[in-house]
Amino acid sequence: MAKIGASLFEEGMEKGEREVIIEILNQRFGEDFDKRLEEKIRKANEETINKIKKNILSITIEELKELLK
């Protein structure tokens, strides 16, 4: 039972992290950051999310789109 709880907690943390990333990028890029990019971030693998996190202050919208292909 503890493993299930830990797994659900971890899943919740990942979803929360993605929502924070989406909010930051939405603030940075405004209208250029559309719903398609939001959905791609929500579905992205951990490696892609880590790359976005490491570059969140410097990534361009073009680089973000390329990363999320």
- Give the integer Cα–Cα distance in Å for 28 and 6: 33
- What's the pLDDT band for 46 if we cut at 50, 70, 90? very high
At 7 the pLDDT is: 58
Average pLDDT over residues 60-65: 98
- Give the integer Cα–Cα distance in Å for 23 and 69: 20
CB within 8 Å of 32: residues ≥ 6 apart: 61
- Give the integer Cα–Cα distance in Å for 42 and 38: 6
